[in-house]
Amino acid sequence: MKTQGSHVTRRTLLGACLPPCLLAQYIDKRQTPLQYEGPGRDDPEPAGFTEIPIGFFGPADPAHPQGGAIFMGAALAFEDANKNGGYKSKPFRLVPRWSDDPWRGGAAAVAKLVFTDNVWAVLGGIDGATTHLAEQVVAKAHLPLIDPASTDQTVNQANIPWMFSLAPGDPDIAKFLAARLKQDPFILFAGTDHDSRNLATELLRTGVRPQFRHDITPGAPELPAAPPDARLAVVLAPPRETQLILAALPPATKVLAGPAARARRFSSARPVQAATLRAQDPALSARIAQRFQQPADDFSLLAYDAATLLVQAVRDAGLNKALIRDRLATHFGPRGRQLHEVLL
């Protein structure tokens, strides 16, 4: 475990040399989708279809520790859609493909959704890293992809017009956190996993600088101790590591946390300020939890929204992938997404 009084990389050094006006520039490509100028809009709807398969790049297990909450929201949305007539009285069918070792089998799983299961669109992945994998496949297949829960803004910076993300991006979350730091001295605990590292980078881009930074390797048996007089800590790590860090911090330390503190795998008895990625809906959360006998969370609600948007796009556009993409693009203009502060 590496504990540092300062954490300077070439990227952060160059960023520190930029004038503030350039540091503030950020184009949110989640809200400005690219246009698709290629063919496909004139393709006729296939005859004789009996169902509408939609891919899910994630585990089809409500109890799965990482993707189960996302699966539950998406699955319930399609159940609701089918109760309301499906598409032309034909049911939507959620087709899951997954690998718990996505770097070895993830791309193959998405390829099977596209070329074997012949889905009309894909929901997924379950985090930033797996969404990058899915994006590579759909870009070649010209297939709509909705990323329901990842906050990694870089998946939208590859200029792929088939890619849509629902949750706010890490730059927005970083600004939310930085505004609450108010230039107060703080300690940063940053996970070394893909998503935590990206959010930590964006937080430093806002201009705030921690007194100390501790890099946290997910699954590490030991965590660095915080100074006993630490008044403020920012924790950007996976849910389990965030929970362990909070348990080790002095009781008087105020804590700001990333989206991991909104996951169902996170639990803490102490107050934590976090940003919820989606406005709360207790009734929908209760329906999801009751249907699958597992707790729901912010990511369940985002997945429900993503699947519902996709259902509506199919109903509006018909079974034509390019037109489905076009309909999705109309939903991802500037929509005034907001981060809501929640005291847990």
Q: What is the pTM of this model?
A: 0.87
Indicate the class that CATH gives domain 3-27+170-276.
alpha beta
pLDDT of residue 3: 41
Cβ distance 73 to 307 under 8 Å? yes
Strand partners, 191: 216
Q: How far apart are CA 250 and CA 248, in angstroms?
A: 7
Dihedral sign from CA coordinates of 332, 328, 144, 283: positive
Backbone φ and ψ for 323, nearest 5 degrees, come out as -70, -35
Task: Name residue, tokens 């203009």.
Answer: 333
* Nearest C-alpha neighbor of 252 from the set 235, 274, 271: 271
- Confidence band, pLDDT 50/70/90 cuts, at residue 21: very low
- Confidence band, pLDDT 50/70/90 cuts, at residue 39: confident
pLDDT of residue 330: 85
Query: 181-200 pLDDT, tens per residue?
Result: 988 899 999 999 999 999 99
- Confidence band, pLDDT 50/70/90 cuts, at residue 32: low
* Nearest C-alpha neighbor of 343 from the set 238, 248, 244, 254: 254
Q: How far apart are CA 11 and CA 32, in angstroms?
A: 26
How many angstroms separate the Cα of 11 from the Cα of each of 68, 136, 170, 238, 309? Answer: 35, 25, 17, 23, 37
pLDDT exceeds 90 at position 174: yes
* Nearest C-alpha neighbor of 134 from the set 169, 167, 166, 99: 99
- Confidence band, pLDDT 50/70/90 cuts, at residue 7: very low
pLDDT exceeds 60 at position 216: yes
Cβ distance 61 to 285 under 8 Å? no
pLDDT exceeds 60 at position 275: yes
pLDDT exceeds 80 at position 309: yes
The reply to whether 3-27+170-276 and 52-167+280-339 are identical in fold is yes
pLDDT exceeds 70 at position 15: no
Q: Which two tokens stand for residue 150?
A: 């990842």
Q: How far apart are CA 69 and CA 279, in angstroms?
A: 16
Please report, for the chain, the start and end positions of each structural domain, with discontinuous segments joined by +.
3-27+170-276, 52-167+280-339
Domain 52-167+280-339: assigned CATH number: 3.40.50.2300
pLDDT of residue 28: 56
**% of the chain at pLDDT higher than 90:** 64
Query: 76-132 pLDDT, tens per residue?
Result: 999 999 999 999 999 999 999 998 887 788 889 999 999 999 999 999 999 999 999
- Confidence band, pLDDT 50/70/90 cuts, at residue 334: very low
